[in-house]
A and B are shown apart, each in its own frame.
Chain A
């Protein structure tokens, strides 16, 4: 069985369209809510039968919600690993739900419902992980969408809730609001001006935390950071988001300032560095994931600084997602997993073609 992403209105990657605020610095905004269905053991402790009952109860509820009526459901437990990786690379499911994160096995009943910018993961660490994904810096819009979905779903399925502790979750770090707001942000200016350590330190003092491109445990590559709230309890949803909004707003300003300083004080060095990154992407015959991310980071900065005008942020966003291993496996081999060297060759070919199409020149 394979995965047909054409069923999704925008392939599930509407969040890449660079339409949101500060799109050259902020790629996307995601808010997720962790919820559990009352009456069952949490996913990790539940038996297969219980997880399947949770799925069927949620399925009935989701399909009766008007905004989710056209949603598409994928049963992760019935998909091969490249298809699961594909969904994960598009940020539509977590690594744990996709069964790609040892020691967590792929669970019976693991599924996701996807609609325009909204997703409901079933049988993740918690029975339900609701998520809203938006392009650019759009916390309020994302929260409005996820809060509505949460109220719609919570009025059809009883959630586990405690008067003192709030929404109950398997992990104590999610209990309370169950809310994790996270902003995917590109900070090459702060990295190059060596201001980044200071900024990251101050994040932690403000109750926020950062991770790499793929969330918890993932490394920072290509100067992409995910900034999110650390705690979920003791503050309201609005207070948590307000704090994230203010701090990320400040980080965006610092990044913009760092970019101005770079151009002013080291203009030709930066220009040379960024054009070299572009040249490598344009002509390289083999690219590892980390290499591609780092060069894409450079080109993205060049586009932000208006040094390169023939490329759109949207194209760069797409390259970020579509040059990953599972996407290349689908584009090149119909989903057959490629070897590492095949992947690197395919990646360079894909990036070359995409840049050629956009800029029109030969390479």
Chain B
């Protein structure tokens, strides 16, 4: 059965209304049903957080920022529909892949989307930085010795020892 409105897609929702004692049957596809504000079983969020995202998605879709339900995280295969069911993202990449929707979702759920807490650098970066910092101290130590600033040199040597 095709949709009574667009006459293109298959009808997924069968709406029965009673007006002036007359029964009307309307068969709608998911898209036309959604446009009329009729919740379809497939579109109904199953997780409380999904409801947030459901609203967010509709707003974001209007601005053309999302490719919709079928968008899939290339790393873990999670889709927007998965999130609506479980309320959980599948991996760290989801945050980049669904970034626009997530930003809006966080604004609603957390009242904010910007982390202002502890800044984290993964081990490699930290290790490299430490090596760079020690290198710089060594260079200053060499110059201090050359210019016979022995007190400064002793201080720098202590600092290097602590860092090593």
A residues near B, CB below 8 A?
Answer: 36, 38, 40-42, 44-45, 125, 154-162, 164-168, 170-173, 175-177, 179, 231-237, 240
Binds A, one of B32-40, B106-114, B133-141, B144-152: B106-114
B126 within 8 A of A: yes
Contact B122 A234 (CB under 8 A): no
Interface of B is mostly: loop
Q: How far is the CA of A45 from the CA of B103 in the complex (A)?
A: 22
Nearest-neighbour CB distance to chain A for B80, whole angstroms, equals: 13
B89-138 contacts to A (CB < 8 Å): 89-92, 95-96, 102-103, 105-106, 109-118, 120, 122-124, 126
Contacts of B115 on A, CB cut-off 8 Å? 162, 164-167, 175-177, 233-234
Q: Mark B residues whose CB is within 8 Å of A.
A: 49, 75-78, 86-92, 95-96, 102-103, 105-106, 109-118, 120, 122-124, 126
**Closest 8 A/B residue pairs (Cβ):** A234-B112, A166-B115, A160-B92, A45-B90, A158-B122, A177-B117, A233-B110, A41-B76
> Of A154, A160, A172, which contacts B105 at CB under 8 A?
A172
Query: Smallest CB–CB gap between B78 and chain A, Å?
Result: 6
Pick from A36, A157, A173, A175: contact of B123, CB below 8 A.
A157
Apart from A159-B120, A160-B92, list 7 A-B contacts with CB within 8 A.
A154-B122, A172-B87, A175-B115, A177-B115, A177-B118, A234-B114, A234-B116
Q: Which of B89, B103, B120, B122 contacts A42 (CB 8 A)?
A: B89
Instruction: Note all chain B residues with C-beta closer than 8 A to A165.
Output: 95, 102, 106, 113, 115
Give the chain B neighbours of A172 by CB distance below 8 A.
Answer: 49, 87, 89, 102, 105-106, 109-110
Q: Which residue of B lies closest to A240 (CB)?
A: B117
A159 and B78 CA atoms in complex are apart in Å by: 20
Which residue of B is nearest A44, CB measured? B88
Q: Is the CB–CB distance between A42 and B114 below 8 Å?
A: no
Q: What residues of chain A lie closer than 8 Å to B105, measured between beta carbons?
A: 172
Measured CA separation A179–B87 after assembly (Å): 19
Whether A236 lies near B124 (C-beta < 8 A) is: no
Asked if A164 meets B113 with Cβ closer than 8 Å, knowing A42-B88, A172-B105, A233-B106, the reply is: yes
Least CB separation from B77: chain A residue:
A45
* Residues of B with C-beta under 8 A to A154: 120, 122-123
B88 contacts A161, CB within 8 Å? no
Main secondary structure of the interface of A (DSSP, over half): loop
By a CB distance below 8 angstroms, the chain B residues around A164 are 103, 113-115
Given contacts A159-B120, A161-B120, A172-B49, contact A233 B113 (CB under 8 A): yes
Let me know if B86 and A44 touch, CB within 8 A: yes
Ordered by A's residue number, 13 sampled pairs between the chains whose C-beta atoms are within 8 Å are A41-B76, A42-B89, A44-B90, A158-B123, A164-B115, A168-B92, A168-B95, A170-B88, A171-B49, A175-B95, A176-B112, A179-B117, A233-B114
Q: Which residues of A contact B126 (CB under 8 A)?
A: 155
User: Please, which residues of chain A bring their CB within 8 A of the CB of B75?
Assistant: 41
**Beta-carbon contact of B110 and A125 below 8 Å:** no
Cβ of A173 and Cβ of B117 under 8 Å apart? Answer: no
**Hey, which chain A residues are within 8 Å of B95, CB to CB?**
162, 165, 168, 175
Nearest CB of B to A137, in Å: 22
**B76 closest partner in A (C-beta):** A41
Bound-state CA distance A164–B112 (Å) is: 11
In the complex, chain A residues whose CB is within 8 Å of the CB of B90:
41-42, 44-45, 170
Cα-based distance from A231 to B109 in the complex (angstroms): 8
**Closest chain A residue to B53, Cβ basis:** A172
> Which A residues are in CB contact (< 8 Å) with B117?
166, 176-177, 179, 235-237, 240
